[in-house]
Structure 1
Amino acid sequence: MTEKSNPNRDTVNTVLGPVPAGDLGVVAVHEGLLSVVPGAEYAFDITIDRAVIFETLERKLTEFREAGGGTVVDTTGMFHGRDVRLYEALSRSTGVHIVASTGMGPESNLGGYFLTPQTNPPTPWPAEKFADLFGREVAEGMVVPRVERRGAAGMVVTATTPEGRTPTDESLLRGAARAAATTGVPVSIRPGADALADLAIVLEEGVAADRVAVAGAGDDALKIAEQGAFVVLTDVEEVDRLVEAGHAGRVLFATGGVAVSIGEEAPAASYAGLVAGLPADVTDQILIANPAALLAVKGA
């Protein structure tokens, strides 16, 4: 094993700083800790109590640690509830490593600032602008609005419009891929109507397939694993299918839920349940080895 590929030397960006990939333990690799629909904080019928949010997340993370868990990766990205200071406090309180992400998407989740630069006619942001925005959150730290930058993002995430990729979605895919390729962190995509085509765009930007995680791939999961990318699954039967096909090394397992969701209904995440959700013979591979390989910053 070369020094570069040694998981005990490779590091992962957590909210409290770099951690050796070999120290992550069991990883809940594609989760939503806190999801807040943009604008929900202004709704008359919604109350956001930060103390209650902290207590809820602290309980879920403590249960996860007591069940054998070690790390949670929050893939909500920018402007959808990500709270870096909250994650720092939770990590210190519970002893669970937290990896936060940069990125955004699909187009419907973006504000007008990103969709209508001053051009005639208005056009989506080009990929290089998204790449710079996301890359800086890895290289310089994640932005706490109007305050400062905090710890480095450990993953770049984006998503495509479910009904089909828009020009803005393509800019997001290419920008996320370029940021990942430049900084060495992995990229995660939630594809739309054509998962294979969305993956192809990311790979066109020079990202190696084993640096990509694809969530919600549906019937294309096997084909994506055959291309060498990681597939995020939430169903044990689907895990069994890919393992039997010889792709245990490309499977990631997630709860498919959100720990605290504000402004929309979402399945509740139980991170502790994730630990016992897989057959024992593949647990180490899928919950420990595969996430560590994906999350390790290349070139760190």
Structure 2
Amino acid sequence: MAGEEAARTDTVGTVNTVLGPVPASELGITAIHESLLSVVPGAEYAFDITLDRAEIFETLAAKLTDFRAHGGGTIVDATGMFHGRDVRLYEALSRSTGVHIVASTGMGPEEMLGGYFLTPQTNPPTPWPAEKFADLFTKEVTEGMVVPRVERRGAAGLVATAADPGGRTATEESLFRGAARTALNTGVAVSLRYGADAVGDLDVVLDEKLPADRVVVGGLDRRSAVDAGAPLEIARRGAFVALDHVGSDDEAYLTDRERVDLVLDLIEAGHGDRILLSSNAIGKAVGQSAADVAYSAVCSTFVPLATSLGLGDADARCILVDNPRHVLTLR
């Protein structure tokens, strides 16, 4: 009965998109962890870099149109506040392509924060407190996302944060706790890209009394995470397991064939309702290199492979439609 009640809530609830709230039932197949425009902070000021908005629009529109042609309905831009997020561009892209776009607030890891957020605010010096991050992120959900020095636009639909792969810093712990408090304040979910210890980073967020099913732990197809048994342990705790490097040829991550095996193992263990798939694709990268992975990779290549190896239609729909809908529905 509890599962049926949750399903009804998912169906009738709403999701914050860049064009405003939409019924959760309209999301369709959802890519939960992607990037549209990803700009390394400061690259926009580099003498050798040109940001041609018309070219960026055409590039992203083509990729989103391809995503929709392969059955996709919603893209989640999980880059947060300061990596090139362009809300007005995303609004135009959504209107043009018909793809729902959910943008995120949040920030991290520490090395990617601006100096203001690393400046000690207390005496003696301590990192920014969690409550200050929570206030910043909460306003982006309740009042709209900031367009610098101009205005606020549509509400963020997710709070995304990340830790350094070498291990969570004190500032990143504040970020995690601030993200959790934002989720409690606003009803959006937390997308957490873990550092060196996936379970330990999840515990920091859960320590804020955020229900586990409001947390997505990303990057769990990293080989080190799989070797440590993190995907199964995180699913057991009730959080969502994001296998979000589909199509990647990075040796630090599973191959798609290995990723299918992990999906099937999680389903066999009874955790099909906690799996999310995405590609961590970057539609347009500025100041960094990015793997050439299509937003449609999950639908066009991964699911057919998984189906040929035993993934059933009901489980596929649960992973592609029902699970992300549960995450994104405001609570």
CA–CA distance in structure 1, aligned partners of residues 5 and 164 of structure 2: 40
Shift of 1:4: 8.8
Q: What is the DSSP-based 3-state SS (H/G/I as helix, E as strand, rest coil) of the residue aligned with 1:56?
A: helix
Partner of 1:84: 87
Q: 2:149 aligns with which of 143, 146, 149?
A: 146
Q: Gapped runs of 5+ residues in structure 2? A: 247-258
CA distance in 1 between counterparts of 2:130 and 2:94 reads 33
Report the equivalent of 1:161.
164
1:51 and 1:166 map into 2 onto residues whose CA distance is: 39
Q: Specify the code of the residue in structure 1 equivalent to 2:20.
A: G
Q: Does 1:288 find its partner at 2:298? A: no
In the alignment, is the contact (CA less than 8 A) between 1:256 and 1:267 conserved in 2? no
TM-score under structure 1 length normalisation: 0.96
Cα RMSD for the two superposed structures: 1.5
Counterparts of 1:239 and 1:261, CA distance in 2:
29
- Partner residue in 2 for 1:95: 98
Question: In the alignment, which residue of structure 2 is the partner of 1:177?
Answer: 180
Residue aligning to 2:254: none
> Quick check: 1:267 aligned with 2:291?
yes
* Equivalence for 2:249: none
Deviations 1:155-195 (CA, angstroms, capped at 9, x unpaired): 00100111111110100000000001110000010010111
Q: Which residue of 1 aligns with 2:282?
A: 258
Count of residue correspondences: 298
The separation in 2 between residues aligned to 1:31 and 1:256, in whole angstroms, is 5
- Choose from 125, 129, 132 the match for 2:132: 129
Identical-residue share of aligned pairs (%):
63
Residues 1:13 and 1:204: Cα distance change in structure 2 (over 3 Å): same
CA contact (8 A) 2:281 2:295 kept: no
TM-score (norm 2): 0.87
Alpha-carbon distance in 2 for matches of 1:256, 1:272: 11
Give yes or no for contact 2:177–2:205 (8 Å, CA) kept in 1: yes
Counterpart of 2:50? Answer: 47
Query: Of 187, 200, 204, which residue of structure 2 is paired with 1:201?
Result: 204
In structure 1, list runs of 5 or more residues that go unmatched: none
Q: Which moved more, 1:91-100 or 1:61-70?
A: 61-70
Task: Work out the CA distance in 1 between the residues paired with 2:81 and 2:274.
Answer: 27
How far residue 3 of structure 1 moved from its aligned partner, in angstroms, is 8.6
State the alpha-carbon separation in 1 of the partners of residues 141 and 134 from structure 2: 11
CA contact (8 A) 2:121 2:128 kept: no
